[in-house]
């Protein structure tokens, strides 16, 4: 066993076979894969990311491979065992074997089924980033008894038309690749398009300001190496069918905020091109009492959750482990802000 990694307490990984009635495809046999890390007596928090995230959130002594949100569960962090037990799942369709239309409601129903099988009556919180935020909103609307609190980061109750247009073009790139028997090339190009929507012009301006080069008589701009490397990494770990179906499922997503009765914190990133701040504001206004908005300013745009580990951890601490109220005299003249 590799040393130098924290012992998280018990680690439970497993699979559950079930039949689930999908919103657009009827009854389907599915396999639910999960990882549960932390002491059995600790409160359980579900942590879910974008469509490329998976059940392994962070490295630990029993599985030292990097997780999708490496660092957020380091010792001393808000979610780190032994204080909490963290549940991660593989999304329905993530292995590419379920080639039917998928919906975020299907993902929420699958999670509720898994919680029942694991004898977890209620989550302390569901923390969802990007696609995970959409699933969390569905879980809160469809299975409110399963969670105490929802923290939705960079996700709203409906997709923005601009973001849907980005994804439609990405899917067309994959389709062109398939027509030419070049699935990997199409998926790589789709991922490269996606990287432009995840990040901000400000970041690209700082990182890729070098002048273009002539390579074999063609112009090559400074960002191309970065984009191609991102595409190659994605292709190596992602099935084309999985990506297509999960991309579509973002655009099928719809939640009526009036149906969400769970206390909800919406965290929006200023400059997020996929989930604009205005959509987060509209969501919070529609959620009504018990909800609030926090705004994160970051050059990383939609990817801020993955890059701003310390700041995201501080936001989670404020929501899950708030300090005790101050004495009235200490509060006089103070006000609280919603931006960080």
What positions carry a catalytic annotation?
A: 130, 272, 302
Q: Are the C-beta atoms of 306 and 199 separated by less than 8 Å? A: no
Q: Return the structure tokens found at 59.
A: 């490295």
Nearest to 118 by CA among 223, 13, 205: 13
What phi and psi values does residue 57 have, to the nearest 5 degrees?
-75, -40
Give the C-alpha distances (Å, rounded to integers) separating 301 from 123, 153, 171, 315. 29, 12, 22, 17
Q: Per DSSP, what are the bridge partners of residue 295?
A: 268, 339
Q: Per DSSP, what are the bridge partners of residue 276?
A: none
Task: Round the CA-based radius of gyration of the chain to a whole number and report it.
Answer: 20
Nearest to 199 by CA among 238, 154, 132, 136: 154
* 81 vs 41: CA distance, rounded Å: 11
């Amino acid at each position: 066993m590799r040393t130098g990694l924290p012992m998280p307490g018990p680690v439970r990984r497993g699979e559950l076979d079930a039949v689930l009635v999908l919103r657009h495809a009827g009854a389907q046999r599915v396999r639910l894969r999960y990882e549960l890390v932390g002491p059995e007596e600790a409160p359980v928090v579900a942590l879910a990311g974008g469509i490329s995230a998976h059940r392994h959130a962070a490295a630990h002594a029993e599985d030292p491979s990097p997780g999708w949100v490496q660092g957020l569960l380091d010792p001393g962090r808000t979610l780190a065992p032994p204080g909490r037990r963290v549940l991660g799942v593989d999304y329905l369709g993530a292995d590419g074997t379920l080639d039917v239309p998928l919906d975020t409601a299907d993902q929420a129903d699958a999670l509720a089924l898994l919680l029942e099988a694991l004898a977890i009556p209620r989550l302390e919180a569901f923390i969802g980033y990007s696609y995970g935020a959409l699933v969390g909103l569905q879980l809160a609307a469809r299975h409110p008894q399963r969670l105490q609190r929802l923290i939705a980061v960079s996700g709203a109750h409906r997709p923005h038309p601009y973001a849907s247009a980005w994804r439609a073009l990405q899917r067309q790139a994959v389709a062109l690749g398939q027509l030419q028997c070049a699935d990997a090339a199409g998926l790589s190009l789709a991922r490269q398009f996606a990287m432009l929507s995840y990040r901000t012009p400000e970041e690209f301006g700082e990182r890729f300001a070098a002048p273009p080069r002539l390579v074999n008589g063609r112009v090559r701009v400074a960002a191309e190496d970065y984009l191609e490397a991102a595409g190659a990494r994605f292709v190596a770990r992602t099935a084309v069918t999985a990506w297509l179906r999960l991309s579509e499922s973002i655009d099928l997503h719809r939640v009526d905020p009036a149906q969400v009765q769970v206390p909800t914190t919406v965290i929006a990133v200023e400059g997020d091109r996929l989930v604009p701040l205005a959509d987060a504001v509209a969501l919070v206004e529609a959620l009504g009492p018990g909800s609030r908005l926090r705004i994160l300013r970051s050059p990383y745009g939609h990817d801020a959750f993955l890059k701003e580990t310390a700041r995201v951890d501080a936001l989670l601490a404020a929501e899950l482990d708030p300090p005790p109220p101050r004495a009235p005299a200490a509060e006089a003249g103070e006000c609280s802000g919603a931006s960080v």
